[in-house]
A and B are shown apart, each in its own frame.
Chain A
Amino acid sequence: MWKLAATLAVGLGVIAGPAAAQDRPERIGMGIFTFTSGPAAAYGMPGRNAAELIIEQINEAGGIGGVPIAPTYVDEAQGGEGVVSEFRRLAGDQSIGVMVAALSSGNCMALAPIADQLEVPMVTWNCDTHQLFLGEEHPYVFRPNSSTVPEFISYAAYLAQKSPDATRIAIINPDYAFGHDAAQIFTGAMKAFNPDVEVVAELFPKLGTASFNTEISRIAAARPDVIFSNLWGADLENFVRQAQARGLFRSSQVVLALGESVLQRVELPEGVIVGVLGDGWWMSPDAQANERTKEFVSAYRERFGEYPVFPAMKMANTILAVQAAYEKAIEASDGWPGRADLREAFAGLELETLTGTVTVREDHDGLVDQLVGVTVASDEHDFPVIGEMVRYPADQVTPPVGEDPMAWIGTLTPDFAASLPKPGSYE
């Protein structure tokens, strides 16, 4: 028994080496939360890969203020309590300066109050739910990414511009907040842009569904003009394979909100509306004009055997945001910035990312442009790429600070969609 206790003590001692807050540390500890197992890993692993690569590149270039980043990865698939207890453990380690968490909205919602309580800055990299900052203020939580509201309004706008006559829409989204919120936002915006729109089928299969065949029959029977889906990961791949074989892509205009993430894995036909929930498309004109991005993309491709899908770009951009915040904080404070100093730095942060710019507003939410397009065949690659692109400016599609997002959607008019840049305008 006491032997066990001694082992425990030794094991713990290694982890919890305290560091004086104001000295320049030997390393910047960073907790990074993503799914590295379970069905969500298909989406989470690119995030982890990108984190690994971008951190390596930052460290090779001298780290942040001369200090290298030391990441600790946490698998979100272990469930709520495991994620929370890991967060607490890492927060207890004073060498950890910041948390990059998390992929799943559920985990973000669970972690946010804990970040506030433990006063450790938490930067979300993928949980885009607009509910994060809706009811509660989170002084220590920042999102240098867009939220579900601009993301899904953009698809409605693109559709309104491209197929103005489409009125019968079918929705098949995953059965949790992300899917339900997206359905609500997309439907709300569609109806604002064209009052004749009706939802002819609305399905929420549960996460991890393997066979969508009955859902596909149900959708086919409803004869929709448009099929909208924000399925992702293995679910999206399954849906695409089954739906494509059964002719769904021929009979309706399909919108796959997270379609870019499977372009390299499953053969999508041409003409499917896809996007990247932000501006993180590695082949976008802005990305291709950026030497650093090209370097990142080729290094990623070389190491992981595929091009960085948008979750990878989101993760890389988020870590760049952390770097920018640190550099701002180092400038602002006398010694090495502590957690509270870093928090100060995030407010109003502006930076150039690999694929565009991001601004962290005073409500801690990010302003990021939205990129949408359709799949087109590519001369360069053996998989389709995004063509007929549009880049909606962030400030035009994001609800203003302090406004209820759903109420704001209700104020939109057909003119709003017409006032936005047109499909194909981003070249």
Chain B
Amino acid sequence: MRIALLLALAALFVAFPLAFPWLAFVFTLVISKGFAALGVAVLLRAGLISIGHALFYSLGAYTVAYLSRGAGVTDLILQLAGAVAVSSLVGLIIGLFMVRYRGIFFAMLNLAVSMVFFTLLSKLYALTGGTDGVRIGTPTLFGTTIERDTLESILLYGGLVLAFGVGYLVHRYLKSPMGEALPAVETNEIRLEYLGIAVPRVLLAAYVASAGLAGLGGAMYGLLVGHVSPELAYWTISGQLVLVAVLGGIGGVVGPFVGAFFLEIIRSFAVIYFDNIWNLIIGAGLLIVIFFLPRGLYGLIERATQRGPRR
């Protein structure tokens, strides 16, 4: 049943851009945000709210920009891999400090680091292009140049395949002892220590994974938009990633993607029909989800498509 639901969602995902080409852009954005929100969701499972993951999201995009302009690495696959590697590495370094913090202090420290990063991006004009940002050129694939249109198809359909692949891996991770330990950190960290489990190590793994996921999403974003500016690292983007994760539901891997989908669709329509109040719509939607749908929108979809209780 759940597989069927997933396939239906995927089919929807493929069908619409074929009918309406501009939606391809929006849908690719959904995948990109979905990856980043999935990263945030991994940490949320441990009760850790990061108002700073825009750091890794923008880092992914800036890494791609730097690889293609500064280092001459033009291959798409290498760029994506590079972005994941760089953001994971930075995640590891920052994570070493982060794993000592919980609750609001974790949120605050993430905020601080990301805002330092944000201001550096805007300020190091010579290095980052300042607030105007940098352009990201069309990459090559296996040594052949590709057209912009081809790139967009690759990003959408390749991204979808990647989302399934990465999603499956993250699913396995969340079901593994290390993954199942995450909610346990929130409910009873002391007991975990008394089971001989090194909580900081559990969290460091999660932090690195979440940074890598956000970096992957950011790299896709950069390639898709073709331009990246510091606003991508601003705290409101971090807030949006948390919002997307919670909106979709943090219980599983699909939730963040569903959340990203709803956010982008609402946004696309809001700018056409309800100019000026899309924040209001998103905010109200978030409140409804928090107060009435604790398992997020994906929980709602699941409930509508299957009978019988499930944990």
Q: Using a CB–CB distance below 8 Å, which chain A residues touch chain B?
A: 1, 5, 8-9, 11-12, 15-16, 36-37, 73-75, 78-82, 84-86, 88-89, 91-92, 105-106, 109-110, 113-114, 117, 129, 175-177, 180, 206-207
A110: which of B123, B125, B135, B269 is its contact (CB, 8 Å)? B135
Does B144 count as interface, using CB distance less than 8 angstroms?
A: no
CB closest residue in chain B, given A16? B20
Which residues of the other chain, A, contact B271 by a CB distance below 8 angstroms?
A: 74-75, 78, 82, 86
Query: CA–CA, A8 to B71, complex, Å?
Result: 42
B-side interface size class: 35 or more
- Check if A92 sits within 8 Å of B231, measured CB to CB: no
A-B contacts, CB under 8 A, total: 101
- Check if B227 sits within 8 Å of A84, measured CB to CB: yes
> Interface centre among B16, B22, B125, by most A CB within 10 Å?
B22
- Check if A177 sits within 8 Å of B132, measured CB to CB: yes
Given contacts A80-B229, A110-B227, A175-B123, contact A9 B19 (CB under 8 A): yes
Which residues of the other chain, A, contact B226 by a CB distance below 8 angstroms?
A: 84, 110, 113-114
Query: CA–CA, A109 to B23, complex, Å?
Result: 22
CB closest residue in chain B, given A7? B269
- Check if A180 sits within 8 Å of B125, measured CB to CB: yes
Which residues of the other chain, B, contact A92 by a CB distance below 8 angstroms?
A: 20-22
B276: which of A8, A37, A74, A113 is its contact (CB, 8 Å)? A37
Which residues of the other chain, B, contact A117 by a CB distance below 8 angstroms?
A: 148-149
Would you call the interface of chain A mostly helix, strand, loop, or mixed? helix
For the complex formed, measure the closest distance between the CB of A231 and the CB atoms of chain B, giving whole angstroms: 14
> Interface centre among A85, A114, A177, A180, by most B CB within 10 Å?
A85
- Check if B123 sits within 8 Å of A176, measured CB to CB: no
Does B29 count as interface, using CB distance less than 8 angstroms?
A: yes
Which residues of the other chain, B, contact A113 by a CB distance below 8 angstroms?
A: 135, 148, 226-227
CB closest residue in chain A, given B32? A81
- Check if B225 sits within 8 Å of A89, measured CB to CB: no
Given contacts A37-B276, A175-B131, A180-B130, contact A12 B125 (CB under 8 A): no
- Check if A106 sits within 8 Å of B25, measured CB to CB: no
Which residues of the other chain, A, contact B275 by a CB distance below 8 angstroms?
A: 36, 73, 75
Given contacts A80-B225, A113-B226, contact A85 B25 (CB under 8 A): yes
For the complex formed, measure the closest distance between the CB of B176 and the CB atoms of chain A, giving whole angstroms: 31
Query: CA–CA, A423 to B23, complex, Å?
Result: 54
For the complex formed, measure the closest distance between the CB of B98 and the CB atoms of chain A, giving whole angstroms: 27
Query: CA–CA, A1 to B122, complex, Å?
Result: 42
Query: CA–CA, A23 to B122, complex, Å?
Result: 48
Residues of B250-286 at the interface with A, using a CB-CB cut-off of 8 Å, are 265, 267-269, 271-272, 275-276
Given contacts A75-B275, A81-B221, contact A11 B269 (CB under 8 A): yes
- Check if A106 sits within 8 Å of B225, measured CB to CB: no
For the complex formed, measure the closest distance between the CB of B7 and the CB atoms of chain A, giving whole angstroms: 13
A84: which of B123, B225, B305 is its contact (CB, 8 Å)? B225
Does B129 count as interface, using CB distance less than 8 angstroms?
A: yes
Closest 8 CB pairs of A and B: A110-B227, A176-B131, A92-B22, A106-B132, A89-B22, A177-B132, A117-B148, A88-B25
Which residues of the other chain, A, contact B149 by a CB distance below 8 angstroms?
A: 117
Query: CA–CA, A109 to B8, complex, Å?
Result: 38
Which residues of the other chain, A, contact B8 by a CB distance below 8 angstroms?
A: 1
CB closest residue in chain B, given A117? B148
Which residues of the other chain, A, contact B19 by a CB distance below 8 angstroms?
A: 9, 12
Does B3 count as interface, using CB distance less than 8 angstroms?
A: no
